[in-house]
Structure 1
Amino acid sequence: MMFVALALLWACYYGVHSLLATGRVKAAVARRWPGAPRFYRLGYNQLSVWGFLAAWHWQESLSAPALPRPPWLAAGGVVLGAVGLGLAVAALRGYDLGEFAGWKYVRRAGLPTGALRTFGLNAWVRHPLYLGVLMLVAGAWLVAPTWPRAVFGLVTWAYVLVGLRWEERRLSAAFGPAYGAYRRGVPALWPRWPGKKSRIPTDNKAKS
């Protein structure tokens, strides 16, 4: 029962996280409080971080001994987690961090318009940040496995993989045929084998 409650907690957290990111909710907030949109992203990030920390704190307070695993598996988890963390950090560097954190929205009225990114890590996979998060979560569990962390990992993996589909729809709506061409040439998460180079249309590179 405890694990069901934990799974529901993480599912609710991720559900609210996604709901607050929708255009419908943002538009409703803008209609109700016209001056709020410039602070929305900043508040959204604060709520996400503190909500995550609160859920994680409750999870770690549950009585759950570490699961046995061979040292080589823990070593593999360190490598996997380190690669995932490095990949996530490198992916974040491709974003405008002021916009990502929300400070750019506060400093000026209106929402910055993003461009389709097809360079750097995005030339290999369409969602390098998601790939990094998945690897980091899996690696961290291999290093220090418990049943509550397994529940967190499974719900997080499910959320990322399902959320990726919604993200694809949003990007297709935002960039139209340009994203369709990019999608056909570059895999979503797993890079192609060496020698099978991703094919990014020339016009997409120019727009980036």
Structure 2
Amino acid sequence: MIAPHIILATGWILFCVFHSVLASLRFKKIAETRMRYRYKFYRLYYTLFALASFTLVLIYQFTITSYSLFTPTRLSLKLGIIVAGFGLTIMCLCIVKYFMQLSGLKGLIENRKENALMITGVHRIVRHPLYAGTFIFIWGLLIVYPYLSLFITDAIITIYTLIGLKFEEKKMEREFGDAYKSYQQSVPMIIPRPPLYFPQWRKPARKPGEEAIDKIENF
């Protein structure tokens, strides 16, 4: 039963490697030179390839017999369903919001290549809400289905994403400059902080006497 898990881990690692190579700036420049006017379809091709390879690895994962890491209780099942459901909701909201960009359809409709810095909505809570939702979903799912195969999948996806985020952050800094650096200082990357710690949610400190004036004006 160990061999199928090794194959599964290898499959996810290969998926991550191909995902990184195809998304790299160097490979995109090569593709743009070779594809010329067809390069506008690159994002769409990339999305279809990623979806197909992801589905193949996932199908293999469901076909193998795996070990159970622990026996879930009724309480843990309820907790896992709530956690996974919450993460899935965040993922769906982000996918709907980014659908045109993630699918590559936006590049077919619009000729401009500039991306806008998103700092509204869920982006006021964390800088990468889609990844945050993904982490919550996959680890919540492990509570419901505590199999070694799912743990391997969760671990590889988490490690790969965290490493990729470091490069993504540097890319965003180069693209948006001081605006993104300011955004980094006020909003956490993955783990949200209580509203008290969000500078953009804080009200400016009042000077002595201002509160009394407000009460008089609103009387």
Return the alpha-carbon distance in structure 1 between the equivalents of residues 129 and 146 of structure 2. 25
SS state of the match for residue 118, structure 1? coil
Shift, 1:116, TM fit: 0.7
Q: Alpha carbon RMSD of aligned pairs, Å?
A: 1.7
Q: Which amino acid aligns with 2:127?
A: R
The one of 31, 34, 55 equivalent to 1:32 is 34
Q: Which residue of 2 aligns with 1:166?
A: 167
Counterpart-to-counterpart distance in 2, 1:99 and 1:65: 38
1:115 match: 116
- The residue that corresponds to 1:138 in the other structure is 139
Show structure 1 runs of 4+ deviating over 4 A: none
Match among 55, 74, 77 for residue 71 of structure 1: 74
Kindly state the Cα deviation for residue 106 of structure 1 after the two structures are TM-superposed: 2.6
Pairwise CA distance, 1:14: 1.1
**Does the aligned pair in 2 maintain the 1:123–1:198 contact within 8 Å?**
no
Deviation of 1:76 after TM superposition, in Å, equals 0.9
- Give the secondary-structure state (helix, strand or coil) at the position aligned to 1:36: helix
CA offset at residue 199 of structure 1?
3.6
Q: Which residue of 2 aligns with 1:41?
A: 43
Please give the alpha-carbon distance, in whole angstroms, between the structure 2 residues aligned to 1:9 and 1:179. Answer: 35
The answer to whether residue 77 in structure 2 is matched with residue 80 in structure 1 is no
Native 8 Å contact 1:45 1:101 kept in 2: yes
Q: 1:35 to 1:142 in 2, by over 3 A?
A: same
CA distance in 2, matches of 1:30, 1:161: 28
Which residue does the alignment assign to 1:195? 196
1:117 maps to amino acid: M
Q: Distance in 2 between matches of 1:82 and 1:169?
A: 31
| SS of structure 1 residue aligned to 2:79 | helix
2:55 is matched with which residue? 53
Query: Do the aligned partners of 2:44 and 2:104 also contact (CA within 8 Å) in 1?
Result: yes
Report the alpha carbon displacement of residue 135 of structure 1 after superposing the two structures with TM: 0.5
In the TM superposition, residue 19 of structure 1 has moved relative to its aligned partner by 1.2
Candidates 90, 95, 101, aligned match of 2:93: 90
* Structure of higher CA gyration radius: 2
Question: How many residue pairs end up in the alignment?
Answer: 198
Distance 2:156 2:48 in 1: 22
Between Structure 1 and Structure 2, the one with more helix by share is 2
Equivalent residues of 2:186, 2:198 under 8 A apart: no
% identical equivalent positions: 27
Taking the aligned partners of 2:103 and 2:153, their CA distance within structure 1 comes to: 24
* Distance (Å, rounded) in 2 between the aligned partners of 1:91 and 1:170: 20
Look up the match of 1:203: none
With the length of structure 1 as denominator, give the TM-score of the two structures: 0.88
- Using the alignment, how far apart are the partners of 1:102 and 1:154 within structure 2? 28
SS at match of 1:141: helix
In structure 2, C-alpha distance between the alignment counterparts of 1:28 and 1:17, rounded to whole Å = 16
Unaligned runs of 5+ in 2: 202-219
Task: Select between 6-15 and 46-55 the one with higher mean Cα deviation.
Answer: 6-15
> Structure 1 residues 139, 120: closer, same or farther in 2, change over 3 A?
same
1:182 aligns with 2:183: yes
8 Å CA contact 1:38–1:111 kept in 2: the answer is no
SS, match of residue 33 in structure 1? helix
How far residue 8 of structure 1 moved from its aligned partner, in angstroms, is: 2.0
Q: CA deviation at 1:172?
A: 0.6
Give structure 1 stretches of 5+ with no counterpart.
201-208
Report the Cα offset of residue 92 of structure 1.
3.0
Question: How much has 1:54 moved relative to structure 2?
Answer: 0.4
